[in-house]
C-alpha cells in the first residue's frame, strides 16, 4: 500500500498530501495529465471551425487565434506546473508552496475556456456540426486533463494531517492560500529581474484584457484569469513576489510605475487608451473612497457627489463658452480649485452628518448625493441662479494646458505618437501615484491607526482618548479632496459635465454604487484592491455590452458569491482576512498525544 509522506525542501515547508478525487495511482494520473495538457496545447494549432463567421477566425491551421490563444496559454501553464511537480531542474521555482493544487486549478481553467469556446461556436453557428476535428480534440483532451488532475493527490498544509472530506471540500481546498514557508535566498540582481519580469507580465495581461475585441474573447479571458490567479497564489509564487517586493520596495514601485507608463507606447491608436484613462479615473476615486470606507469605516453612499463637485468646479473655471463665471484658470490652479472646493464641501457635509453612525450615516450621505444632482439641475436660471446651465450641463470644456504643452494635441515621444487620451492617461497616472502615496502615508500614520480603531469599535476608541468626530471629519475631507482631483481631470477628458452622470446607480461608472462595490470587491483597506476592483467593474460592462439587459442581475450574483466565498475581497487585508475566516487557533491548547485540554484531562 502506498502512503504519502511529508516532504521538506529548502524552498517549501513540510506538506502532506491526501488522495485525489478519483481513485487513480498518482504516477498514472500525472502521466495522463501531461498527455492531456500536451495534446490540448497541440489542438490549438488545428482549425476549430470551418467558417470565419465566428469571431477570431478559428479556421486557420498552424496559427492559433482568438479563444485558441487562451486555451494554448492555459494548457502550457498546466504543463509547466506538472513538470515542476516532477522536480525538473529549472522549473522547481514555480511551486514553492504546493505542486498539485495549481495544476488542478489551471486544468479547470483550460477546460472551462475550451468548452466555453466549443459552446459559443455551437450557439453562434447553429450546432456542434460546425466544429472541425481540432475543436473536438481540444474538448476531449481538456476533459481528460481535468479528470487526470483531479486524481492527483491534494496538497495539504503542514499542520493539517487530515485530508479534506468530500469532493467539493477537496476541490475548494485548492483555492486556499498555502501556508507560509521559507524561500531559498536568491542573488539581489535575480530578485530585481524577477520583480521587473512580474511587472512586465502584469502589463502584458492588462494590455491583452483591455484589447479584447469581442465579448466571447473577454469572457474567456475572465475565465482563465479567474482560475489562473488562485493557481499562482496556491503555488506560492504570489507570496514569494510579495516577499521580494517588501525587500526591494523602491525597485517594485519604480518597476510598476514604468510598466504602467509604458502602456500607451504599446497601443497603435487611442481606442483602448481612452478606456484606460476612464479606468484610472474610476480607480483613483475608489482609492479615495477607500480612505472613508476602508480605513475609517464610514459607509458613504453619496461619494460620487464629491467627484461632481470637482468636475463642476473645473468646468466653471475652464473658460468654456457656456460657463457662468467666464474665467479660465491655468492647469495647476484648476486642479487646486477642484480639490479645495471638494474639501470644503466635505467639511460642510461631514460636520453635521458624522454625528450619526451606521445605517443612518449611509442614508444621510445617500441623500446628499441626490441633493447635489438635483441642485445642479436646478441652477439653470429658471429654478435657481444661472450657474450650471441646468440639465444641459457645461459642454465644450477646452483641454488642459501645462505651460505650452496642450494635452489635447498629439505629441511624439521616443518615436511614438501619443494622442489625446494617451496624454491624459499619463497625467492621471501621476495623480494616481500621488493619491496612492497619500493613502499609504495616511494608513501607516498615527491618524491611520486611529481610523482603524474607530472602524473596529468607535466606543472603545473613544474610551481610549481618540477624538472620533474630528478624525472622521478628517477622513471625510481627505476622501472628498482626492475625489475632487479626479473630477477636475474627468471634466476635461469628457469635454463637459452633466448632472445625470452623478447618480447613485448609473449604467456607466463611476457612480456611488459601483465605487463602493469596487472597494469591497478589491479589498477594503488595501491599495491594489480598489485599483483591481475598479478595473474589473469598468471593463466588464464595457466589454460585455451585449449583456447590458442582465448587467445588474449578474452584478448582484457576483457580489453574493464574493460575500460567500471571499468576503475580505480579492486582495485581502491581513486584518480583514483574520476577521472573516477562522484561524484554527484554540483558546485552550490541546495535548498533542491525547487531543484533550488540560481541563478535560
Residues 185-195, mean pLDDT to the nearest whole number: 81
Here the cell at position 255 is: 518597476
The total of other beta-carbon atoms located within 10 Å of residue 175's CB is: 17
Q: Which residues are bridge partners to 17 per DSSP? A: 155
Position 116 scores a pLDDT of 95
Q: Report yes or no: 372 and 502 within 8 Å, Cβ to Cβ.
A: yes
Here the cell at position 75 is: 494548457
Tens of pLDDT, residues 554-584: 777 877 888 887 787 888 776 666 666 555 5
Tens of pLDDT, residues 46-65: 999 998 888 888 988 888 98
Class of domain 277-536: mainly alpha
Q: Domain locations in the chain? A: 20-156+166-250, 277-536
Residues 478-502, mean pLDDT to the nearest whole number: 88
Tens of pLDDT, residues 327-340: 888 888 888 999 99
Position 578 scores a pLDDT of 63
Tens of pLDDT, residues 585-601: 444 455 544 454 444 44
Phi, psi angles (nearest 5°) of residue 15 = -135, 155
Residues 304-327, mean pLDDT to the nearest whole number: 87
Q: Report yes or no: 496 and 396 within 8 Å, Cβ to Cβ.
A: yes
Here the cell at position 259 is: 510598466
Tens of pLDDT, residues 217-260: 999 999 999 999 888 888 888 888 888 888 888 888 889 899 99
Give the percent of the chain with pLDDT over 70.
83
Cα–Cα distance, 522 to 519 (Å, whole number): 5
Position 18 scores a pLDDT of 54
Tens of pLDDT, residues 83-117: 887 666 666 777 776 567 888 999 999 999 999 99
Quickly state the pLDDT bin for 22 (edges 50, 70, 90).
low
Looking at the predicted structure, is the pLDDT value of residue 174 above 60? Answer: no
Cα–Cα distance, 467 to 128 (Å, whole number): 67
Distances in whole angstroms, Cα of residue 189 to Cα of each of 194, 241, 272, 344: 9, 14, 34, 48
The total of other beta-carbon atoms located within 10 Å of residue 466's CB is: 18
Amino acid at each position: 500500500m502506498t502512503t504519502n509522506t511529508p516532504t521538506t525542501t529548502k524552498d517549501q515547508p513540510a506538506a502532506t498530501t491526501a488522495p485525489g478525487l478519483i481513485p487513480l495511482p498518482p504516477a498514472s494520473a500525472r502521466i495522463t495529465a501531461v498527455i492531456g495538457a500536451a495534446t490540448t496545447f497541440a489542438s490549438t494549432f488545428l482549425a476549430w471551425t470551418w467558417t470565419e463567421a465566428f469571431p477570431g477566425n478559428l479556421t486557420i491551421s498552424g496559427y492559433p487565434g482568438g479563444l485558441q490563444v487562451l486555451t494554448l496559454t492555459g494548457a502550457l501553464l498546466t504543463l509547466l506546473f506538472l513538470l515542476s511537480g516532477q522536480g525538473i531542474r529549472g522549473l522547481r521555482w514555480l511551486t514553492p508552496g504546493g505542486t498539485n493544487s495549481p495544476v488542478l486549478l489551471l486544468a479547470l481553467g483550460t477546460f472551462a475556456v475550451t468548452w466555453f469556446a466549443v459552446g459559443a461556436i455551437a450557439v453562434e453557428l447553429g450546432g456542434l456540426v460546425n466544429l472541425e476535428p481540432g475543436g473536438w480534440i481540444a474538448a476531449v483532451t481538456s476533459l481528460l486533463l481535468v479528470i487526470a488532475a483531479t486524481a492527483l493527490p491534494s496538497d495539504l498544509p503542514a499542520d493539517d494531517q487530515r485530508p479534506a472530506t468530500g469532493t467539493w471540500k477537496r476541490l475548494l481546498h485548492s483555492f486556499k492560500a498555502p501556508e507560509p514557508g521559507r524561500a531559498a535566498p536568491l542573488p539581489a540582481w535575480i530578485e530585481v529581474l524577477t520583480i521587473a519580469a512580474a511587472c512586465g507580465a502584469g502589463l502584458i495581461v492588462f494590455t491583452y484584457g483591455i484589447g479584447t475585441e469581442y465579448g466571447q474573447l473577454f469572457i474567456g479571458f475572465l475565465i482563465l484569469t479567474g482560475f489562473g490567479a488562485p493557481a499562482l497564489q496556491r503555488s506560492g509564487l504570489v507570496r514569494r513576489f510579495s516577499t521580494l517586493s517588501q525587500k526591494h520596495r523602491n525597485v517594485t514601485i519604480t518597476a510598476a510605475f514604468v510598466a504602467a507608463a509604458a502602456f500607451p507606447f504599446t497601443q497603435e491608436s487611442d481606442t483602448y487608451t481612452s478606456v484606460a484613462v476612464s479606468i484610472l479615473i474610476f480607480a483613483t476615486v475608489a482609492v479615495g473612497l477607500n480612505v472613508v470606507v476602508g480605513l475609517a469605516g464610514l459607509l458613504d453612499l453619496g461619494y460620487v457627489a464629491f467627484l461632481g463637485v470637482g468636475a463642476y468646479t473645473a468646468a466653471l473655471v475652464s473658460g468654456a463658452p457656456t460657463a457662468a463665471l467666464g474665467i479660465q484658470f491655468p492647469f495647476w490652479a484648476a486642479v487646486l480649485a477642484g480639490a479645495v472646493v471638494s474639501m470644503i464641501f466635505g467639511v460642510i457635509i461631514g460636520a453635521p452628518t458624522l454625528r450619526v453612525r451606521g445605517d443612518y450615516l449611509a442614508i444621510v450621505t445617500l441623500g446628499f448625493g441626490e441633493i447635489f444632482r438635483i441642485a445642479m439641475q436646478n441652477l439653470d436660471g429658471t429654478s435657481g441662479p444661472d450657474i450650471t446651465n441646468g440639465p444641459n450641463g457645461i459642454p465644450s470644456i477646452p483641454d488642459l494646458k501645462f505651460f505650452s504643452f496642450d494635452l489635447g494635441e498629439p505629441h511624439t515621444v521616443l518615436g511614438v505618437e501619443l494622442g489625446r487620451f494617451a496624454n491624459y492617461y499619463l497625467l492621471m497616472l501621476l495623480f494616481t501615484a500621488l493619491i496612492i502615496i497619500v493613502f499609504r502615508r495616511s494608513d501607516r500614520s498615527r491618524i491611520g491607526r486611529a481610523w482603524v480603531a474607530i472602524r473596529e469599535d468607535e466606543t472603545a476608541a473613544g474610551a481610549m482618548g481618540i477624538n472620533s468626530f474630528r478624525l472622521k471629519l478628517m477622513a471625510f475631507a481627505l476622501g472628498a479632496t482626492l475625489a475632487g482631483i479626479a473630477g477636475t481631470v474627468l471634466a476635461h477628458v469628457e469635454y463637459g459635465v452633466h448632472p445625470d452622470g452623478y447618480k447613485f446607480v448609473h449604467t456607466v461608472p463611476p457612480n456611488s454604487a459601483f465605487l463602493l462595490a469596487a472597494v469591497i470587491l478589491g479589498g477594503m483597506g488595501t491599495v491594489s484592491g480598489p485599483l483591481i476592483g475598479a478595473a474589473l467593474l469598468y471593463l466588464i460592462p464595457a466589454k460585455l455590452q451585449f449583456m447590458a439587459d442582465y448587467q445588474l442581475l449578474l452584478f448582484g450574483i457576483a457580489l453574493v458569491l464574493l460575500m460567500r466565498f471571499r468576503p475580505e475581497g480579492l486582495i485581502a487585508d491581513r486584518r480583514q482576512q483574520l476577521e472573516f475566516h477562522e484561524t484554527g487557533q484554540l483558546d485552550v491548547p490541546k495535548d498533542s498525544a491525547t487531543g484533550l485540554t488540560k481541563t478535560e484531562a
